[in-house]
Structure 1
Amino acid sequence: MSAAELARLQFAATTGIHWLFVILTMGLVPIVAIMHTRAAYTRDPDKRATRERMTRFWGQLYVINYAVGIATGLVMEFQFGLSWSGLSKFAGNVFGAPLALETLIAFFAESTFLGMWIFGWGRLRRGVHVTLIWLVTLTAYASAYWIMIANGFMQHPVGYEVRGGEAYLTDFGALLTNPHALLALAHITLAALTTGGVFVTGISAFHFARGTKEIELFRSSLRLGLWIGAVASFFVIIVGDLQFPVLERTQPMKMAALENSGVAELQAQLVTEHGPADYAPPHGWLRVSMDTMTIIGNTVSTVTLIAVCLLWKDWLVRRRPLAYLMTAMIPLPFIASAGGWVFREVGRQPWLVYGELTVNDALSHVSRTSLVVSCTAFITVFVALAAVNWSLIARFARRGPHATQLGATEPLPHDVPGDGADEKQPVPTY
């Protein structure tokens, strides 16, 4: 593999793995916030206790994913200087600010609010504690907004001028309202909510299939997750379709390569405008990634809408095969979203900043040996972190609410056999 191919593989692999953490974080945190709000303002003591335990259970899974995932985000920052110094030199004046704001929000504001929420159980007033988890939600989506602003500039550069081979920002408003950023943000927001909803539904269904005694807790979780997943998966398809007119106007070669039609004419036009090069992205990658995203997306939408109907008289959880089907669906939104990112990024090739900077021109002057070493190291670390993350999530999800340590005000029993429903659990009080 060439140096450029190694650098692209490194960034694609690390970004793809990091995205698996991000989409679950974005999808799970608003669900936890809804659960906590319902628990905090429930008058009935028994219902409040159940809803508080439910919040702590799902909140712990969210915290595990966030804690391990944040390490992947920190490591990714080094790759801009390591492999893509040409990108930083050309576009750093434009998207340096969005990236800096994303870092400040994600690694300072979001982390601070989350830490206060984690250690605030039984110590903070009810309203303050609930506000903290909503602030975590807000900062998570604000962080995603600034990332999409930077990525949107690479997809469709706006609000800038080139002086001395470098891009300078001239219209901050145009940068903030770039349709390539806003539509993509809406799309990934709905995809994240779909992912979070299917995740909560699948784990809840798994416990019903095993014959849980936590009936009310997991019934409430399953209903909330399923409704969110069903609604979000329906609208994510609609918002995805809204992006095609924008792509046809701003990235016609991507759409031509997808349909394998009109590529030669656009190739000749781009050669005239930018000089000799192959401007057609690979048709196979685009077709496979698009089909993966659309087929899985439509499948998830259809299954969740049917499952909503099966909530009547608890048919969904009384039939064990149906419960296991919902559990088996957990990986599907992750695969679909990965396909969407492949389509978005590969379709931009050979440009790194569309129409302005190619991948080869953005590559740092580093040896192939250095890239082999860094690529191997980065991918190994990221795969290890992903394995740790999912093994921890699977372990605590399988053990159920009795193993939850988040918000505990006194020692919890460990390795209690069975479901743990008969154990008397400490419940934080306000």
Structure 2
Amino acid sequence: MEVLDLARWQFGITTVYHFLMVPLTIGLSILVAGMQTAWVRTGNERYLKMTKFWGKLLLVNFAMGVVTGIVQEFQFGMNWSAYSRFVGDVFGAPLAMEGLVAFFVESTFLGLWIFGWDRLPKRVHLACVWAFSLATVASAYFILAANSWMQHPVGAEFVDGRPTMTSIWAVLTNNTALAAIPHTIAGAFSVVAAFLVGIAAWRLWRKRREQDEDRQVWRSSLRLGAWTGVVAFAALAVTGDVQGKLMFEQQPMKMASAEALCHTERPASFSILAVGDVRDANCENVKTFSVPALLSFLAHNDFDTEVKGIEDLVGEYQERYGTHYPDDPALGELAGQPIDYVPNLPVTYWGFRIMIGFGALSAAVGVFALWLTRKGQIPDTKWFPRVALLSIATPFIANSAGWIFTEMGRQPFVVVPNPTGVDGVWMFTAQAVSNVSIGEVWTSLISLTVLYAVLAVVEVFLIAKYVRGGVEGVMPPKKPEPDEGEGADKTDDDALAFAY
């Protein structure tokens, strides 16, 4: 394997792993803030128990997300230094903003929330969790703004061989970012919904034979997760449609690859399932089950519009951006070679369907959970908690598949040309890699993969530990009666408040 291939594998592995934590943190922080709001407003101890339990899992996930996220910053200098030099003037601004939000606002208010139980007034303490949760959304906004600039460069001009930012406002209000952000946030709610449904269903099953006061905690959590998942999937469908229409304008090759649309069609059919090998750009050996004219509507809101296929788009790309890579020794074996403008078709085609299919499956489990818990009922079937636990993975898979499709679908570009905007601002992925040896990349790839595997074991262990502990493991012990001694009461409260 070449340095380029290894560098892409390393960034892909570490980024997909990190993104497993990100949507769960975003969605869970907002739901926990909502739970605490319900407790402050009503005084109902059920909501306090929900806040404490799910808040503990939030802290574990957030800590792991911070650790794994730091590596992403270092990789720009490790394996992608040429890319960093090229985009640094533009890319650095939103990343710096994200760093300020993540490591100042998030960390400050999260610390106040952790250590502020019984020390801060209730409403001040509640404001801290809302500040933290909204800061996670702001952090995601800045990261998505940076990524969207790579997908659709705006607010810059080409000066001395590299883009120079002319408007931070244009970068932050990039229409690609404005379409990606609500879709990503909806995906985050889909993740946390399945997380709540799976864990609450399992805990509810364990308490099914007991008249335990905590059963209502798990039933409320289950229904909250189920409703969140259903609404999130509806939001994903709407925002995904908006994002898809935009991509047909900005990156038509990506969307043609998502459909394995090898030849231009008018009207164009939407492929539900393909039978055959979709690796070849001519699709001669592929048969698809499709819905007539639907792709034309999804692309342009018109059932009779033409949608260009891969073969025609290749000619347009070659005319605009060249037929061969520059004869630059830094490109290694690719120097002077023909440019392949067609993304990996199996990855883009099946990744698109995995994203939709697993997202829909997660929502279906939520609908079924609502049915089983209607009118105060408690699920009493052995198979449901197992299905619910397994379904926790479905939105994680859907999110990962969506991002893999998004990033691999824009190849061979790491910065995609803007077809209607900034002239000359694009970069081939082959030009972006650092001048490092293959041994150095192998070393960092193996080291980080092993480290991340260890962190995965740690996170799963901690989450499983606190899930098994239930509400009892996070709630403070009952305060002793006054005759048991004032000093013991004070000691217990202080220890608990410090620990969380």
**What is the TM-score of this pair, normalised by structure 1?**
0.91
Alignment check: 8 A CA contact 1:52 1:427 kept: no
2:177 aligned partner: 181
1:323 is matched with which residue? 385
Partner of residue 101, structure 1? 97
Question: Matched residue of 2:158: which SS?
Answer: strand
* 1:422 paired residue number: none
Corresponding position of 2:312: 265
Q: Which amino acid aligns with 1:65?
A: N
1:1-80 mapped onto 2 (5 Å cutoff): 1-43=1-43, 47=44, 49-80=45-76
Aligned residue among 315, 321, 328 for 1:274: 321
The one-letter amino acid of 1:154's match is M
Identify the match of residue 366 of structure 1 among 416, 436, 459: 436
Q: Give the 3-state SS of the residue equivalent to 1:167 in structure 2.
A: strand
Residue 289 of structure 1 corresponds to 351
Match of 1:302 among 351, 354, 364: 364
CA deviation string 1:273-299 (max 9, x = no partner): 212211110110001211111111122
Distance 1:259 1:300 in 2: 23
How far 1:170 moved relative to its partner? 1.6
Greater C-alpha radius of gyration: 2
Separation in structure 2 between the aligned mates of residue 379 and residue 107 of structure 1, nearest angstrom: 25
Kept in 2: contact 1:209–1:324 (CA 8 A): no
1:394 is paired with a residue of what secondary structure? helix
Over 3 Å counting, the alpha-carbon distance change for 1:219 and 1:158 in structure 2 is: same
Measure how far apart 1:159 and its partner are.
1.3
| Cα distance in 2 for residues equivalent to 1:258 and 1:4 | 24
SS at match of 1:124: coil
Name the amino acid aligned to 1:110.
E
CA contact (8 A) 1:316 1:322 kept: no
Mapped contact 2:152–2:250 kept (Cα < 8 A)? yes
Q: SS where residue 318 of structure 1 aligns?
A: coil
In the superposition, the TM-score normalised over structure 2's length comes to: 0.79
- The 8 Å contact of residues 237 and 298 in structure 1, kept in 2 or not, is answered as no
Partner Cα distance (2:58, 2:143) in 1: 21
Letter in 2 for 1:269: E
Matched, 1:397 2:467: yes
| Counterpart residue number, 1:219 | 219
Q: Is 1:53–1:427's contact at 8 Å kept on the other side of the alignment?
A: no
Write the letter of the residue equivalent to 1:266.
Answer: L
* CA deviation string 1:151-201 (max 9, x = no partner): 000011111111111111123232112122121111110111111111112
Q: Cα distance 1:315–1:272, how it changes in 2: closer, same or farther (>3 A)?
A: same
Task: State the shift of 1:140 in Å.
Answer: 0.1
1:113-262 equivalence runs, <5 A: 113-211=109-207, 213=212, 214-260=214-260, 261=262, 262=309
CA offset digits 1:70-96 (Å, max 9, x no partner): 111112211001111111111111110
Identity of aligned residues (%): 40
How many equivalent residue pairs?
Answer: 409
Which amino acid counterpart does residue 342 of structure 1 have in structure 2?
I
Residues 410/64 of structure 1: CA separation in 2 closer, same or farther (3 Å cut): farther
Deviation at 1:266, TM superposition (A): 1.4
Unpaired segments ≥5 residues, structure 1: 412-425
SS in structure 2 opposite 1:306? helix
* 1:229 aligned partner, one-letter code: G
Out of 343, 363, 385, the position equivalent to 2:405 is: 343
Q: Work out whether residues 36 and 51 of structure 2, in 8 Å CA contact, stay in contact via their aligned partners in 1.
A: yes
SS of residue in 1 equivalent to 2:120: coil
Letter matched to residue 225 of structure 2: G
Q: Corresponding residue for 1:415?
A: none
Distance 2:477 2:152 in 1: 48
Deviation at 1:314, TM superposition (A): 4.1
CA positional deviation for 1:31: 0.8
Q: Describe the SS at the equivalent of 2:39.
A: helix
- Residue 322 of structure 1, CA deviation: 2.5
Does the 8 Å CA contact 2:202/2:389 hold for their aligned counterparts?
yes
CA distance in 1, matches of 2:388, 2:259: 34
Mapped contact 1:50–1:216 kept (Cα < 8 A): yes
- Comparing 142-151 with 268-277, which one deviates more in the overlay? 268-277
Closer/same/farther in 2, CA of residues 408 and 315 from structure 1, 3 Å limit: closer
What residue is the counterpart of 1:417 in the other structure?
none
More off after superposition, 175-184 vs 29-38: 175-184
Counterpart amino acid of residue 62 in structure 1: L
The 1-side partners of 2:64 and 2:117 are apart by 22
Mapped to 2, the partners of 1:50 and 1:275 lie a distance apart of 64
1:323 deviation in Å?
3.2
Whole-angstrom CA distance in 1 between matches of 2:101 and 2:189: 20
1:106 CA displacement:
0.9
CA apart distance, 1:318: 2.9
How many angstroms does 1:410 deviate by? 8.3
How far apart are the structure 1 equivalents of 2:90 and 2:496? 49
Opposite residue 167 of structure 2, the aligned amino acid is: D
Equivalent residues of 2:197, 2:366 under 8 A apart: no
Alignment partner of 2:182: what SS? Answer: helix
Residue identity in the other structure for 2:13: A
**Could you tell me whether the CA contact under 8 Å between 2:361 and 2:394 is conserved in 1?**
no
Paired AA for residue 4 in structure 2: A
| Alignment-mate amino acid for residue 398 of structure 1 | R
Amino acid at match of 1:354: V
| Structure 1 residues 383-409: Cα deviation after superposition (integer angstroms, max 9, x where no partner) | 22122112211121122111127x779
Q: Which runs of 5+ in 2 are unaligned?
A: 263-308, 324-338, 418-425, 481-494
CA contact (8 A) 2:219 2:378 kept: no
Distance across 1 between alignment mates of 2:362 and 2:77? 39
For the 8 Å contact 2:365–2:391, the answer to whether it is kept is no
Q: Which residue of 2 aligns with 1:416?
A: none
Within 1, Cα distance between the matches of 2:389 and 2:375?
Answer: 20
Which letter does structure 1 place at the counterpart of 2:176?
Answer: H
Residue identity in the other structure for 2:343: P
